[in-house]
Amino acid sequence: MEVVTKNSQETQKLGQRIGAKLRPKKILALCGDLGTGKTTFLQGLAKGLGIKKRIISPTFVFLKEYPLKKGIFYHLDLYRLEKSQDALGLGLKEILNDNQGIVVIEWAEKIKKFLPSEKTDIYFYYLNEKERKIVIKER
């Protein structure tokens, strides 16, 4: 699926619609440059999942966990990750194997080799100041 969103609210809404349908044991790999809308999308997604807290991308924190009614929502932001290997120190393996987990990874391209093929890849592209192209590849 491919969509062009015309402002950040549209990107949030898209995330919200997808979040509302998510079930446990789901991995979403978000790829794309800085400012393409990954965190914006995630804020909508978290809302769709029923998370009340506002999702931010903390500069020096790689991993944030949010409790769900059932299971845990994991938000990884690997922008500052230098070596893919370092992700293992964050407990990546355990997180990916959490059967109740919903895992969303920003800058997933950095740890491609550790990710299972069973995942949804979402690519973000900057078109112009207000528009982003978002490409969703299930599995």
Q: What is the CA radius of gyration of the chain?
A: 14
Using CB under 6 A as the binding criterion, the count of chain residues that bind ligand ADP stands at 19
- What residues have CB less than 8 Å from 107, skipping those under 6 apart? 30, 31, 38, 77, 78, 79, 81
Rounded-to-integer distance, Cα 83 and Cα 100, Å: 27
**35 forms part of the interface with ligand ADP (CB under 6 A):** yes
Which one among 7, 85, 97, 100 touches ligand ADP, defined by CB under 6 A?
7
Rounded-to-integer distance, Cα 89 and Cα 5, Å: 35
Closest-CB residue for Mg ion?
39
Least Å distance, CB 56 to Mg ion, is 9
Rounded-to-integer distance, Cα 118 and Cα 62, Å: 22
**37 forms part of the interface with ligand ADP (CB under 6 A):** yes
| Amino acid occupying residue 115 | L
123 binds, among Mg ion, ligand ADP, none (CB under 5 to 8 A by kind): none
**8 forms part of the interface with Mg ion (CB under 5 A):** no
36 phi, psi to nearest 5 deg: -90, -10
131 binds, among ligand ADP, Mg ion, none (CB under 5 to 8 A by kind): ligand ADP
Which one among 39, 44, 78, 101 touches Mg ion, defined by CB under 5 A?
39
Rounded-to-integer distance, Cα 36 and Cα 59, Å: 17
Q: Is 34 helix (H, G, I), strand (E, B) or coil?
A: coil
**75 forms part of the interface with Mg ion (CB under 5 A):** no
Instruction: Kindly write out the interface string for residues 94-133 of this chain, putting x where it contacts ligand ADP by CB under 6 A and - elsewhere.
Output: ------------x-----------------x-----xxx-
List contacts with Mg ion (CB under 5 A).
38-39, 57, 106
